[in-house]
Amino acid sequence: MLKKVISVCLMIFVGLFTVQTLNNNKVLANSEVKPNEYHRKYISAMDTDFSVEIDVNDPKANNYLEQLKRSEEIITNISILTDNFEGYDVLGEPIKNVYYINNNINKKIEIDKVLYDILEFSLEVQVLTEGYFNISIGKIIDKWKDLIDPLANNNYTEEQFNKIVEEIKNIPIIDNGIVLTKENNKYYVLIKEGVKIDLGGIAKGYALDEVENYFKEEGLVSYKIKGSASSLKYGYNLNNDKGYTKVGVSNPFGGIYGYINVANKTVTTSGDTEQNKEFFGRLYHHIISPITRMPEIDNRIAIIVTDSAALGDALSTAIFSMDKKKLEAWGKQNKLTEYIIIKSDKKIINNLKENEFVNSDGSTNIIKASIFDWLIISGVIIVFGVGIYYISKNNKSKLSNKEDSEE
């Protein structure tokens, strides 16, 4: 009997040791991979910090100094054009940027093609999102930014605060208030009374896309282009056989929710965790719904994985303000599948593909472990079961013999 018990225990131990060894080998293989080395450029623009990184092992990285310089020029140019502050060129002439447009109501203004393209794309996304992304509500956004400004002395009574909110809700949103035209290879914009353009929800992403387009023209394949932590674009990781770079997803309620495997994709995030302020038991933040003219509080974070950073920026802004019912209907209609929503009630909607997401503990989910590992685990369970069966059978046999002898 003792020999059988020892044999079963040894078999179980060997099985478990085999599984653990396989898992340890996987960890060891990953830990042996040396981190990539990059040529880097840090750029301050659009009130945020950009970084552009080119893998030193990229075959086309021999011209990296010029490539990083051109990247900075692209980002800086888009920042100047989309800026809501007054600017002047080297000749002292006013720059025809967003500030200039907003201060010349009902005037047809010739603008740079880059700015025209950003405005045109923004209006297309407004239609796509059924108005949940809208660049014309700058006056409403400004009011909310003033309210949640951490440096402002907004010591309102609840009655005063509610009155201000009602005033904001009554600010009109102008339909078709931005008019774009082309004439003889020149580009024009006219905005109507009541419109104030705000490109804060798309400009960073558009800049990332333009830098990537330039990199592709240069033949680069391995790079990282970041607009703070909310707009992240990754090429192909030469140090990973699948090209993945692992991107962490913070949980607004604490810790890391998990990781997204990204290759030739963009991860964009909209959330209420940074620019916010609490009034009378409710959190107010900077992402304003064009539908309600309010900061909505159903969600804490919206993350989208897309090819285009500009589209991702705009869509994450839009779906952040959608409630569950609207998101499900709109997402199904527009085939939106690659996103994560962390809701205010701590529930999580994760629609990423199986190979894209890894839990914070390193696993994917309960059914995503490798088949080989599961076969081994199943074998251990079977061996364990057989062992228990034989022990039980032996005990019954002994009990039966004992009863026979007593008779």
Reported as a single tens digit per residue, the pLDDT across 147-160 is: 999 888 888 999 99
Check whether 350 has a pLDDT greater than 60: yes
Max mean pLDDT among 240-244, 369-373, 387-391 falls in: 240-244
- What gap in Å lies between CA 223 and CA 228, rounded to an integer? 16
pLDDT band for position 394 (cuts 50, 70, 90): low
What's the burial of 28, exposed, middle or buried (CB within 10 Å: 0-12/13-18/19+)? exposed
Q: Average pLDDT for residues 178-185, to the nearest whole number?
A: 97
- What gap in Å lies between CA 403 and CA 399, rounded to an integer? 6
What is residue 20's predicted lDDT score, i.e. its pLDDT? 39
Chain center to CA of 110: 34
pLDDT band for position 362 (cuts 50, 70, 90): low
Identify the weakest region by mean pLDDT among 208-217, 342-351, 395-404: 395-404
Q: φ and ψ at 234, to 5 degrees?
A: -125, 135
Residue-wise pLDDT tens digits, 280-333: 999 999 999 999 999 999 999 999 999 999 999 999 999 999 999 999 999 999
Q: φ and ψ at 388, to 5 degrees?
A: -60, -40
By three-state DSSP, how is residue 282 classified? Answer: strand
Residues in CB range of 400: below 8 A, 6 or more apart: none
Among candidates 229, 224, 203, which has minimal Cα distance to 212? 224
Buried b (16+ CB within 10 A) or exposed e, 177-200: bbeeeeeeeebebbbeeebbbbbb
What is residue 305's predicted lDDT score, i.e. its pLDDT? 96
Check whether 373 has a pLDDT greater than 80: no
What is this structure's pTM?
0.81
User: 312 near 201, Cβ under 8 Å?
Assistant: no
Q: Would you give the end-to-end CA distance of the chain in angstroms?
A: 24
What is residue 164's predicted lDDT score, i.e. its pLDDT? 95
Q: Average pLDDT for residues 245-258, to the nearest whole number?
A: 94
What is residue 15's predicted lDDT score, i.e. its pLDDT? 43
- What gap in Å lies between CA 130 and CA 158, rounded to an integer? 33
